[in-house]
Amino acid sequence: MEKLIIQGNKRLNGEITVSGSKNAALPILAATLLTDEPCVIRRVPHLLDTVTMIKLLRSLGKTVEFNKNTVSVDSRGKARYLADYKLVSTMRGSFCVLGPLLAKLHKAKVSLPGGCVIGIRPVDLHLKGLRSMGAKIRIEGGYVEAEAKQLKGRAVYLGGVFGSSVLATANILMAAVLAKGETVIECAACEPEITDLADFLNAMGARIEGQGSPRIRIRGVRNLHGASCTLSPDRIETGTYIILAAATRSPIRIKNAQLSHIMALVDKMSEAGVRVRDDGTALSVHINKNLRSTSITTYPYPGFPTDLQAQFSAFMAMVPGVSIITDKVFPDRFIHIAEINRMGANIRREGYRAIVEGVKKLHGAPVMASDLRASAALIIAGLAAHGQTEISRIYHLDRGYESIDSKLRKIGAKIARVREH
């Protein structure tokens, strides 16, 4: 395994470029299963998760080429309907092949994705939606087995305990485009990634309206053709760099970023004394001399993203005052607290909240990454801390940030990737 060694307390300067959205790439790649014609997706980040999805598409009968962030997908023969455990179990996002496989082949056998370190994430909404459209579903041997001679359009409600589900919305959306009649998804996820997916499906010949709102209307068509698209910027990567700039007091410019996708973060950064401006070519981050603590509560989009909660917590750990971090999307997503506390932070968990008492400075220490976004939080803490920080188990990081250590070195970070002995 590899680890990162960071020499902290160094001001960064320069431009950093945001990659295409990972969370848009995965369902859009899955959507290529709905057609036998060629599809091209541009600005695809080279990540463990996108590579896993490409392997899954190949196992399902697709020819896939991945060259310089462009993925070309075509059919090479008879499609297969079995999504194997070895691939699906490594990445929850791959479960979104269920909808398109069922719609196109009328049957699907997809491994259950299982739990995850940030908490249990059931697939009940996926199955509820598909059953309402006429699918016969059973769970056996760790697989979801689904059949439907013809899916039928229905009104589907996808509200869950913690709000709408992005992955369930994607699955039902892809199933509905080839269903008979009209499907209306109520309490649909409003994330930009769902808008990207719907726009790609429309380019393939689907008839979708309302994407980006809680009600999406889909009129089924007989078949879809090939299409191409360019992924929007990764909003979580964008937010991570904004928080990094503030935490290290660095005048970083962030290129290929879309400000409208991260307004909840921008609002909270403003409360803390950090201004984010879009000059038309890049985002610039301006940090006041006296920062202020501020509290956040995570919500589904357009609320504050749970995927930025750990990074924001690391920032608040170095800001004077007390802030309360509440996560109502994944209440168990606080594993990073113990590791940041090893660096001198003063954070305590109380149920689905974390109480952060800001300290003057953090100190480098050996820490361990527990998940993807915790990895980014530890990098932020390490770059702002005094002394050396070693972050182990960084394979999590490579699931969601394309070449982040290389990007950071270009703006002056002292960060090295080495093999652990």
Question: CB within 8 A of 309, min separation 6: which ones?
Answer: 296, 298, 325, 327, 333, 373
- Which letter, b or e, does each residue of 228-244 get, where b requires 16 or more Cβ atoms within 10 Å of its Cβ? ebebbbbbbbbbbbbbb
CA angle centred on 354, ends 362 and 5, rounded to 5°: 35
- Residue 376's H or E segment, with its range, is helix 372-384
Q: Phi, psi (5° rounding) for residue 290?
A: -110, 105
Q: Which of 39, 116, 187, 229 is catalytic?
A: 116
385 φ/ψ sector (left φ>0, alpha ψ -120 to 50, else beta): beta
The Cα 162–Cα 308 span in angstroms is 17
Complete edge-to-edge strand list for the sheet that includes strand 252-255: 14-17, 252-255, 282-287, 274-278
d(CA 191, CA 168): 12
Q: Is 116 a catalytic residue?
A: yes
DSSP state of 291: -
How many CA atoms lie within 13 Å of 67's alpha carbon, on the beta-carbon side?
5
Contact 413, 10 (CB under 8 A): yes
Q: If we measure between CA atoms, which residue out of 24, 4, 26 comes closest to residue 95?
A: 26
Cα 167-170-171 angle, rounded to 5 deg = 90
Active-site annotation, residues: 116
